[in-house]
Amino acid sequence: MSFFGFNTTLPRDRAPPIESRGIFDTPDPFAEVARARAEGFQGGDDDDVIDFEDTYDGLGDQLDDDQDAFNDDTFGGGVDPSPVGKDFDFFGRTAQVADVIGEEQIRYSLQQPGAPAASATATQPAADAALPGAAAQKPKRTGYEKYQDPGYIPDLQAKSSVWGMSKKPEPQPQPQPHLQLQQQLQQQLTPQMVSQAKKMLSLEEVEAQLRRQGPGSIPTQLPLPLPHSMPELAQPLQRAQMPPLPEGFAQLPPEIIQAQLAKGVPPAQLLHQPPMVPEPYPLPAHAPNLPMHLLQNANLPPQHMMSPQRQAMPPAAQRPQQQQPPPPQAPRGSATQLPVITNSQQLMHLTEEQRVAYLMEDAKRAKRNHKIFLLSKGNGLMTPQDKNFITRIQLQQLVAAAGNVADSDSEAVLAEDFYYQVYSQIRGAPRQHPHQPLGHFAQTYLLQTGNRLGGHGSRRQFQSADNHMQRMQQQVQRAVEAAKQKPKNKQLIIEGSLGKISFSNAKTPKPMLNIKRPESSEGAKTMKKPHTDLSVSDRKSVLTNLESVYNTLMEMEDMERTMPPPPDENDPEAIQKHMEWRQKIRSLNQKLWRELKVMEPIVPNTNTPHPFIAFLSYPKGKKAIPRIFRHIDQEQRVTILTMIVVHLDSLDVVRRAQPVPGETQPSLAVREAIDLFSQAVMPSLLGYVNEAPFNIIIGLLGLVIAQTQVHMISKTRIGLGILTMLLSRAEIVKEAGQATERDWQQWVEKFNVLFDTLEPTFADIFPSSINAGDDMYVWQFLAAVGIGASPEQQQRLVIAVKDRVMETVTYSKTLPADMASQRLGNVNLFMRAIGLDVELLG
């Protein structure tokens, strides 16, 4: 099936190989003729007549005329049912199977290892093949070549010329008959081509020729219209500038055309030149042999001598006028013979489409190999140590570049991530790695490197790996230190502008426009205003106090965390540090104490509550008490306790908790406040009272009796709680035998006053309704009173609360068992204190 004119004979079908066959073994039909002739010569047969038997490849014998099963495949008849008319698109049909042709060609060349090498060398410019940029000249086969050149003539001359130039002299005898054929064929059409091919000149020869002609002779050509000197050179140009004719791309390196177009050379100008079919112009002998760039240079005005770049690329203004072809050697420096070869190659392309296809493959392969070669040049240049060194440098830069380095220390972590850090400590959920991303990253990275290096066996490498690990770690540490030292430039303040531009990082994702606060003028005034305010108990100033108390508390807690270890006596520096720390704590303590405003003078008979009592009226204030108590000394504690006791009836939890007629219990807000107070403040007070000396208890009781309205206090839970606290402490002191006789006498005195004051209202201290809920605190108080009371007082007490006891016992019988036992237990608390039991009541 040699339909497309190339030889598809399989090796097994082929005639026995002839010695020289590989060189010109092409699918070209003329090659067969040439070979036949050559064989004829070799065989010593002088007869020029071509013997049919010599050239016939026997393919016709293989044909089966009856078998037209694949005709449709070949001609596409099955697809297109319309009859073939006069306008049958031969080329279009062929182009449809162009791919198959290409594949076929490749397959063919693969089957014949000798052929591709020969054809490659023949068609590929020898100089190009050696050059790295050879792959750049990738012929772009479109399939239109045959349409483009009506004077389509297979030019075998080019191949022989290449061979003539090549270093291999072996095939030289062979071309001789071949050349004759060529000459015969070509003389009719393009004699100058033949002559050019025949007289292949080297660069030196061309230069010598130019020199011989002298400087004057070439410039004389300048006014001449170009076609005279460059008929066939203009042709490729004309094609090159016409985008719809992609063949030109095959001849000129594509980058040149692109460069031309990019430079804005209008293709239309270049198109002005009439299409030139090579004509037998009487050319000067040297002209066809001149490499393009030489011609071009010769045609350039003298200014071309100025720079080699100019030489390579003529000024854009001149080029269109001159209709100069773009210098094909521009991308490569040294391809002086390129134009000639390109020229012949052009013909090669035209004649042997299949070779082009093969060449494309070959060029691709060459390109890939070249790439690999280029890449592999650096192989083994760096030792692993070198790589590590580079890695360290990169790591350092990374560390230095990251702005949030300081976050890696615990203080900053706590500042940025306080809630999470403390919460996980409290709740014991260190679920996420607390390290900052950077530290984490660095660690992971170091670990990886260690593994990678550790994988090698030898001991030396092990050591060096370790060494690198250490050095890398040190490097990172140093880098982190350095970055810490470096002032952080997180904001940019443009002079005279109102705001700052913050640079965002992962920690502060949204850059804010921070308004710079004028510290001197406005801000200070507004800050001072609350202090100059007359009232220190209005809501706003109390809340401000509260916040400053909290801030101080947090500062103190921070200080506590950074407490230096107990100093060694021999280490003056440590002692010094410790002293400084204590000094700071002390000053903070003073600050806290001032902010608490406990020592504000007590103004009797005013509606404005004392600042500290106002402080306690806010939930935040109540919650602060336990924390405050941890940071103040005993004296300050007793002062606070005294303050509370003195103002007991003006405490919000007492004042607002007064039973209102018609209401069974205080409002929800008050109840919450009471709960909070008894949860937050009472334990702190109790903690102090349990250790307080007896005289202080006596003094406090005296204050309650003297300064407050005991009736009012006794009707509230908090009031009773504080009284219970004092009474039970006195009892404990008495039991422990720590009380002196005089103190005890004093106490009994006060107690009697209290008892006498309260006796008429004992029945009223209970919550108004029996089913109002928890009355345990009342029974506790009664128990505390009962224990400290004399037998006579106990009797009076029993009489006072007898009704309530009976009521509760009766009521508890209607309750479920557990609640009943709870209520009875509460009553029993009191009953046992006076030596009785609810059981006795039956």
- Pick from 166, 195, 273, 421 the residue near other proteins by CB under 8 A: 421
Cα separation, 325 vs 332, whole angstroms: 16
| 8-state DSSP, 373 | H
Nearest residue (CB) to other proteins, 59 versus 527: 527
- Pick from 49, 69, 494, 515 the residue near other proteins by CB under 8 A: 515
In whole angstroms, how close is the CB of 517 to other proteins at the nearest point?
6
Residue 491 phi, psi (nearest 5): -135, 155
Amino acid at 135: A
Nearest residue (CB) to other proteins, 61 versus 519: 519
CA angle 296, 301, 303 (to 5 degrees): 110
- Pick from 376, 379, 432, 521 the residue near other proteins by CB under 8 A: 432
Choices 429-437, 633-641, 697-705, 773-781 (CB under 8 A): range interacting with other proteins: 429-437
Nearest residue (CB) to other proteins, 87 versus 519: 519
Alpha helices in 313-383 (DSSP H): 318-322, 338-351, 353-376
How many of the chain's residues bind other proteins (CB under 8 A)?
Answer: 30
**Which one, of 780, 756, 757, 776, lies nearest residue 767 by Cα?**
776
Cα separation, 323 vs 272, whole angstroms: 9
Nearest residue (CB) to other proteins, 478 versus 516: 516
Amino acid at 166: S
Residues 6+ apart with CB under 8 A from 57: 2, 7, 9, 14, 15, 32
In whole angstroms, how close is the CB of 431 to other proteins at the nearest point?
7
Nearest residue (CB) to other proteins, 267 versus 437: 437
What the block records as the tokens of 240 is 């090159």
**Which one, of 786, 788, 770, lies nearest residue 834 by Cα?**
786
Cα separation, 438 vs 507, whole angstroms: 12
Nearest residue (CB) to other proteins, 432 versus 607: 432
Cα separation, 653 vs 677, whole angstroms: 8
Asked if residues 59 and 32 have their Cβ atoms less than 8 Å apart, the reply is no
130 binds other proteins (CB under 8 A): no
Choices 65-73, 263-271, 370-378, 515-523 (CB under 8 A): range interacting with other proteins: 515-523
Cα separation, 738 vs 692, whole angstroms: 12
Would you call 721 helix, strand, or coil by DSSP?
helix
- Pick from 100, 393, 429, 498 the residue near other proteins by CB under 8 A: 429
- Pick from 423, 660, 663, 795 the residue near other proteins by CB under 8 A: 423
In whole angstroms, how close is the CB of 485 to other proteins at the nearest point?
20
Binding-residue pattern over the window 526 to 565 for other proteins, x denoting contact by CB under 8 A: ---------------------x--xx--x-----------
Cα separation, 570 vs 581, whole angstroms: 18
In whole angstroms, how close is the CB of 684 to other proteins at the nearest point?
15
Complete DSSP assignment for 266-321: -HHHHHTSPP---------TTGGGS-HHHHHHHHS-GGGGS-HHHHHS--TTHHHH
- Pick from 419, 457, 566, 839 the residue near other proteins by CB under 8 A: 419
In whole angstroms, how close is the CB of 814 to other proteins at the nearest point?
35
501 has which bridge partners? 492, 513
- Pick from 594, 623, 671, 734 the residue near other proteins by CB under 8 A: 623
Nearest residue (CB) to other proteins, 213 versus 424: 424
**Whole-Å CA distances, 187 to 190, 231, 275, 279:** 6, 17, 21, 11
Q: Residues in the chain, how many?
A: 842
In whole angstroms, how close is the CB of 430 to other proteins at the nearest point?
11
Nearest residue (CB) to other proteins, 415 versus 447: 415
In whole angstroms, how close is the CB of 512 to other proteins at the nearest point?
8
Of 575-604, which residues contact other proteins (CB under 8 A)?
A: none
Nearest residue (CB) to other proteins, 263 versus 540: 540
Nearest residue (CB) to other proteins, 88 versus 418: 418
| 8-state DSSP, 504 | P
Nearest residue (CB) to other proteins, 617 versus 724: 617
Of 248-277, which residues contact other proteins (CB under 8 A)?
A: none
Asked if residues 641 and 689 have their Cβ atoms less than 8 Å apart, the reply is yes
Nearest residue (CB) to other proteins, 409 versus 731: 409
In whole angstroms, how close is the CB of 421 to other proteins at the nearest point?
8
Tokens 């009474």, located at residue:
727
Of 451-510, which residues contact other proteins (CB under 8 A)?
A: 506-509
Of 358-417, which residues contact other proteins (CB under 8 A)?
A: 415-417
- Pick from 204, 519, 792, 839 the residue near other proteins by CB under 8 A: 519
Residues that bind other proteins (CB under 8 A): 415-424, 426-427, 429, 431-432, 506-509, 514-517, 519, 547, 550-551, 554, 620, 623
